Structure 1
Amino acid sequence: MALHHSRSLSFPSSSHPAVSNFDESLSRLRSSEAACSSLSSINATINGLRNLYESIDDLLLLPHIQQIVTEECVDDFIKLLDACSSIKDLISLAKQNLRELLSAVRRKDARGINCYLDSRRNSKKMIQKCLKKLRRSSASETSENVSLLKDAESVAISSLESLLSYTLGMKLQERKSSWSLVSKLMQSKKASDDENEFNKVESLLQVNQGNELVNHLKEMDSSIQVVEEELESVFRQLIKTRVSLLNILNH
């Protein structure tokens, strides 16, 4: 699914404030998604995703937009809603695992630390499965007359992929395989300086840096708690938008 913004509507994008708000929300989300290099920056992306679908709710009040809503739109949207639910569960699991590790490190419990490493390996497998499912969704073909809604879905999937990829432990340049060589070279130093927070946990475990690890886990706990709350807010907004789509389709 292309991420390029295209529209086949019969009226100019400036003809209604709701359309302008949608365009602005979409642009901001794309910008924040490109900068996902920490849990804090991911928070901004997830918040942008909620704002985007709030703006879509306003769009869905317009008769011109209601005309492009099809069963295909609703089916694709339900897949996005299911993906968000799965990702919420994965983030909650990651938070739980980190808290259990923090407790184990404080108690110097080797068994508890090994349990975290086992859980982390299992979590990575689940994340990889979820990523594959998301990427299959992004590769689907749809008719051009729903391009506006598909633009939103496409950037939403890309944002959720970024969150999952970061949780998996991938670096920014590993996710953006389509970047040019020059872009990769320009970003390589910055990426190496900003170590993935999940990978840093495993690095600190390997070198037995107890105090630094405790501080790092505390910071991560605070950050991932916010991510979890933001995802819950997005999920509630997606449910609201789904209701709007169904109401339009049924009338």
Structure 2
Amino acid sequence: MAGKSGSQTMQVHSRSISLPARLNPNFVHIEAELNKFKTWELSSSSSSSASTVIPSGFKSIQAGLISLVELYNSIEEILIHSPATQQALHKHKHVKLVEAALDRSVGLLDACGNTRELISNMKDQLQELQSALRRRVGLGGDYSSMECKIHAYTSFRKKSKIDIAKCIRELKRMDSNIIESFNSIVDSDHEQMLMVNNVLRESSAITISIFRSILLFLSMPVMKTKPSSSSGWSLIRKLIPSASSDQQIFNEVGSVDIALCNLHRKIQKSDAKIDVQMAFRRLEILDATTKDLETRLDCLFRRLIQNRVTLLNIRTC
């Protein structure tokens, strides 16, 4: 993450996910899912210091996205197929709860759309770079074309860090407003509405947390070094985070950065065929990772749209 904003971590919520004692089976299931996410959030939001964030691993993010879609499916069940919930929501005094959830849904859809766009752009850059390295392996000879594509990729990475920093600031703003926007909306003595309120509040917080993890995954921390005099290749070095000997913070994105930096060093000294092949393999892995994230975010985006449609239908009935 470029600049100070990239090193800021969002507060990990320690709210008690405790719904009223007399629960129907749907709420019992959702409570269990929410508590699983609480554990996921704590484990995936650790930081090594005030200035370096350790991005969640791809497998953790993948599992989080899968579970999040299932959570929204369960929420859809209680909003549509629970007569008690329907009856309570249609009462005039609970209109504010639905309105707050609708406002939140707009922000979540925007955040999901922005994250999808960042991943799509990275995927395009990766495929361009893969093509350049593939041609270099097959034809041999001049490295200039390949170097040009690598420069384009590193320039993209630098710009994307600025965009990601903006997205994370917006997520932080949304996150800080969750408790304020949902608390005091529902009467504490209305058990059904207290359950719905807790579910909508916690699911929004979890969704924000997962988007944050994806953005941190896409943007490795910047290494604090003096500017290099070797042309645009200083960009690559700046993209590679510093790490202590007992700390492993590189993910698939960082592995590509390292491979490109090593490739440049070898190009300057001798034949770099092996390093080209290594960089190409790491690009393939990252490309597959971005495609998977894109697919899962598409699925989540559809669920978020359906959730908003359901809330709109409840408001208009």
- With normalisation by structure 1, the TM-score equals 0.83
Give 1:196's aligned residue.
Answer: 251
Relative distance call for 1:153 and 1:25 in structure 2 (3 A) is same
Give 2:67's aligned residue.
Answer: 48
Larger gyration radius, structure 1 or structure 2: 2
Q: Residue deviations 1:145-175, cap 9 Å, x none?
A: 333311110111011101111111159xxxx
SS at match of 2:181: coil
Give 1:93's aligned residue.
Answer: 121
Give the superposition deviation at 1:122.
1.1
Would you say 1:5 and 2:16 are equivalent positions? Answer: yes
Unaligned runs of 5+ in 1: 172-187
Give the superposition deviation at 1:226.
1.1
Instruction: Judge which range, 233-242 or 31-40, deviates more.
Output: 31-40
Relative distance call for 1:189 and 1:231 in structure 2 (3 A) is farther
Give the superposition deviation at 1:20.
1.4
Q: Residue deviations 1:80-124, cap 9 Å, x none?
A: 111111111111111111111222223341111111111111111
Give 1:214's aligned residue.
Answer: 280
Unaligned runs of 5+ in 2: 1-10, 45-54, 137-145, 187-196, 223-243, 264-274
CA RMSD of aligned residues (A): 2.3
Relative distance call for 1:25 and 1:121 in structure 2 (3 A) is same
Find the partner of 1:19 among 18, 21, 27. Answer: 27
Q: Distance in 1 between matches of 2:212 and 2:130?
A: 27
Q: Distance in 1 between matches of 2:151 and 2:127?
A: 14
Residues 59-138 of structure 1 aligned to structure 2 (within 5 Å) = 59-61=78-80, 62-66=82-86, 67=89, 68=94, 69-108=97-136, 109-138=146-175
* Greater relative CO (CA pairs within 8 A, separation 6+): 1
Amino acid of the structure 2 residue aligned with 1:76? R
- With normalisation by structure 2, the TM-score equals 0.67
Q: Distance in 2 between matches of 1:231 and 1:22?
A: 21
Q: Which has the higher helix share?
A: 1
Instruction: Judge which range, 64-73 or 82-91, deviates more.
Output: 64-73
Q: Distance in 1 between matches of 2:221 and 2:311?
A: 35
Give the superposition deviation at 1:234.
0.4
Find the partner of 1:242 among 308, 311, 316. Answer: 308
How much identity, in percent, do the aligned residues show? 30
Q: Distance in 1 between matches of 2:85 and 2:221?
A: 38
Relative distance call for 1:41 and 1:6 in structure 2 (3 A) is closer
SS at match of 2:250: coil
Does the 8 A contact of 2:182 with 2:201 survive in 1? Answer: no
Relative distance call for 1:65 and 1:3 in structure 2 (3 A) is farther
Counting matched residue pairs gives 231
